[in-house]
């Protein structure tokens, strides 16, 4: 890399005014934290699933193997379905009292 | 691991980074499919009837629906989750990009050099002024926006856009992010089999992801793509080579094209006009008219106009204008598309408008069957990124 190729750090946040959707701005921040937390939990779950799959297949767990692991189409599909169910679970509060049905399902 | 991007410009993510991206993709799908349905139910079940009983009529337009929805907890959660998901899209790429950016730049340079050797040009213009609609805000909340440069020959914003779009679109834009281009080019080819364009131009191409399919659909044509953002053009030039086609990329403002009169058979754009102020939309359409040959086709893939949809659907689409840093989105959607084409010089009799089913989403059979049928905007799947999306296009023959 030549000196001319030196670069500046990339910006971490967009040039934008964050909207406030709730009466108390704290609630908006809680939503952000909740989603970050949910994301981290999901990351753990994917890793755990991969660990279990690999262990089952090989009887041995190697970091290198874990990195290279690709779920079969069936496992990938099962994981994707799990993921949607997981998101529904953590956002359960929204649908706990189902919105007044308009005669729909 | 299943890869996020299927061409050789992809960046290497580790397992946890991929899982984080998967989560964001899933969250977006949940908000835009499931919560969108729930929100409509809240509106139809309670908000609209309440509005009717207090006003003696239904809401007249999207803005009235918006005001009526604002106090609703469901709308507030839909909005804050969607807003956060948008920010998380970029955050799921940035640490990878920060680590891989030198490598991406070097690979981009190599592929670009190969493209040049094969005759596909990359023409950058250091003196081109970036228009205010681009410098004023980070569109789609992408940190750095289309034009940000953070080093010499930087391609970071191109790489960020490509990978971010793959997380963002939850498959709705095609596995190679080219579904709009594939659908529109394939539709034109199927509907007008005798039309054989020799020169094709894509306006506001970003990284040329929807330009590539034109080069594939019409392999004998010379394909050009322009944008004001250099990082995307550099990246796009390499990306086109990585996808096996040669496209000429130029850094140019679409309001003042540096091409001859009567020099193109197709002028295309995708998701471009709604990011321009109205006066620039008019200039771009007039430029499209100027550079088209008589008998040539202008065709824009866009958001469907408000006057062709219900107040609720208008409200739903305008969310981006209010909360996704898209200030020109609603003004564009309020335009009469036939009228602006006529004002740019096109014969109103030769105006065209097509609603095209997503080629990857519906499959080749349904797609090909749609080519000979006209369809109204009507359905709420038109122009909305959700399962069953159909692309809205309009334009005119010169
Ligand atoms: C949403 S992106 C278009 C994406 C792409 N065409 C697609 O199919 O997804 C809008 C692009 O328009 C470019 N742009 C904005 N104003 C422009 C102008 N006046 N002339 C040329 N490009 C412009 C931006 O740099 C950006 O890359």
CB pairs under 8 A between A and B: 152
Nearest alpha carbon to residue B353 among B388, B392, B296, B297: B392
Nearest alpha carbon to residue B107 among B249, B10, B246, B244: B10
Evaluate if residue A1 carries a pLDDT over 60: no
**For all residues of chain A together, what is the average pLDDT?**
79
Nearest alpha carbon to residue B94 among A60, A28, A94, A12: A12
Q: What is the pLDDT of residue A96?
A: 54
B351 touches chain A (CB under 8 A): no
CA B209 from chain centre, in angstroms, equals 10
Q: Do residues B48 and B58 lie in contact, with contact meaning Cβ atoms separated by under 8 Å? A: yes
Distance B332 CA to ligand 1 centre (A): 14
Residue A72 confidence class, pLDDT cut points 50, 70, 90: very high
Q: Do residues B352 and B166 lie in contact, with contact meaning Cβ atoms separated by under 8 Å? A: no
Q: What is the pLDDT of residue A93?
A: 62
Mean pLDDT (whole number) for A14-28: 89
Residue A98 confidence class, pLDDT cut points 50, 70, 90: very low
User: Which of B184, B235, B252, B275 to mutate to test ligand 1, by most ligand atoms within 8 A of the CB atom?
Assistant: B275
Report which of residues B188 and B137 the model is more confident about: B188
| pTM more than 0.80 | yes
Helices (H), B92-211: 94-117, 132-135, 156-168, 179-191
3-state helix, strand, coil in chain B (%, to 5): 50, 15, 35
Mean pLDDT (whole number) for A20-27: 92
Evaluate if residue B82 carries a pLDDT over 80: yes
Q: Do residues B218 and B182 lie in contact, with contact meaning Cβ atoms separated by under 8 Å? A: no
pLDDT digits (tens, 9 = 90+) for B195-247: 999 999 999 999 999 999 999 999 999 999 999 999 999 999 999 999 999 99
In our burial notation (b when 16+ CB lie closer than 10 A, e otherwise), range B204-218 reads bbbbbbbbbbbbbbb
A60 touches chain B (CB under 8 A): no
* Domain boundary assignment for chain B: 170-397
pLDDT digits (tens, 9 = 90+) for B317-338: 999 999 988 889 889 999 999 9
Nearest alpha carbon to residue B115 among B254, B274, B9: B9
pLDDT digits (tens, 9 = 90+) for B152-168: 999 999 999 999 999 99
Q: Is the CB of A99 less than 8 angstroms away from the CB of B153?
A: no
Question: B192: which DSSP letter?
Answer: -
Q: Is the CB of B23 less than 8 angstroms away from the CB of A32?
A: no
Evaluate if residue B123 carries a pLDDT over 90: yes
Evaluate if residue B254 carries a pLDDT over 60: yes
Per CATH, the number for B170-397 is: 3.40.50.150
Q: What is the pLDDT of residue B155?
A: 97
In this structure, of A8-17, A56-65, B64-73, B282-291, the range with the lowest mean pLDDT score is: A56-65
Q: Do residues B242 and B111 lie in contact, with contact meaning Cβ atoms separated by under 8 Å? A: yes
- Token pair recorded at residue B90: 């970029």
Evaluate if residue A53 carries a pLDDT over 90: no
């Amino acid at each position: 890399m030549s000196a001319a190729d030196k670069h500046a750090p990339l910006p971490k946040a967009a040039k934008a005014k964050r909207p406030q959707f709730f009466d108390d701005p704290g609630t908006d921040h809680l939503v952000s934290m909740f989603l970050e937390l949910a994301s981290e939990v999901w990351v753990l779950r994917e890793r755990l699933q991969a660990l279990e799959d690999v262990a089952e297949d090989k009887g041995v767990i190697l970091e290198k193997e874990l990195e290279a692991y690709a779920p079969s189409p069936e496992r990938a599909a099962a994981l994707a379905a799990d993921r949607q169910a997981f998101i529904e679970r953590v956002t359960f509060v929204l649908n706990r009292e189902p919105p007044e049905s308009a005669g729909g399902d | 691991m299943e890869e996020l991007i299927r061409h050789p410009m992809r960046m290497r993510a580790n397992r946890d980074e991929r899982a984080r991206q998967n989560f964001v993709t899933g969250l977006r799908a949940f908000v835009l499919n499931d919560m969108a349905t729930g929100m409509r139910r809240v509106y139809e079940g309670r908000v609209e009837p309440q509005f009717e009983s207090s006003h003696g009529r239904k809401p007249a337009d999207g803005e009235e629906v918006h005001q009526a929805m604002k106090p609703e907890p469901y709308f507030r959660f839909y909005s804050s989750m969607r807003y956060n998901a948008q920010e998380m899209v970029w955050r799921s790429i940035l640490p990878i990009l920060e680590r891989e950016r030198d490598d991406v730049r070097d690979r981009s340079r190599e592929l670009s050099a190969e493209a040049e050797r094969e005759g596909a040009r990359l023409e950058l213009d250091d003196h081109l002024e970036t228009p205010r609609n681009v410098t004023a805000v980070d569109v789609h909340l992408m940190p750095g926006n289309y034009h940000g440069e953070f080093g010499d020959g930087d391609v970071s914003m191109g790489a960020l856009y490509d990978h971010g779009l793959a997380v963002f679109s939850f498959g709705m834009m095609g596995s190679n992010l080219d579904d709009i281009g594939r659908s529109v080019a394939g539709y034109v080819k199927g509907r007008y089999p005798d039309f054989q364009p020799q020169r094709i131009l894509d306006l506001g191409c970003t990284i040329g992801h929807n330009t590539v399919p034109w080069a594939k659909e019409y392999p004998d044509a010379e394909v050009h793509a322009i944008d004001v953002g250099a990082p995307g053009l550099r990246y796009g030039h390499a990306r086109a080579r990585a996808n096996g086609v040669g496209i000429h990329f130029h850094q140019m403002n679409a309001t003042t094209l540096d091409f001859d009169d009567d020099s193109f058979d197709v002028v295309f754009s995708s998701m471009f006009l709604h990011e321009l102020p109205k006066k620039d939309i008019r200039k771009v359409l007039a430029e499209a008219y100027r550079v088209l040959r008589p008998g040539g086709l202008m065709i824009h893939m866009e958001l469907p106009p408000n006057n062709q949809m219900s107040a609720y659907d208008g409200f739903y689409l305008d969310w981006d204008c209010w909360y996704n840093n898209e200030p020109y989105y609603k003004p564009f959607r309020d335009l009469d598309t036939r009228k602006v084409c006529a004002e740019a010089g096109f014969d109103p009799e030769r105006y065209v408008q097509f609603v095209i089913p997503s080629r990857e989403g519906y499959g080749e059979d349904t797609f090909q069957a749609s080519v000979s049928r006209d369809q109204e905007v009507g359905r709420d799947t038109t122009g909305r990124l959700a399962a069953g999306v159909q692309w809205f296009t309009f334009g005119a023959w010169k």
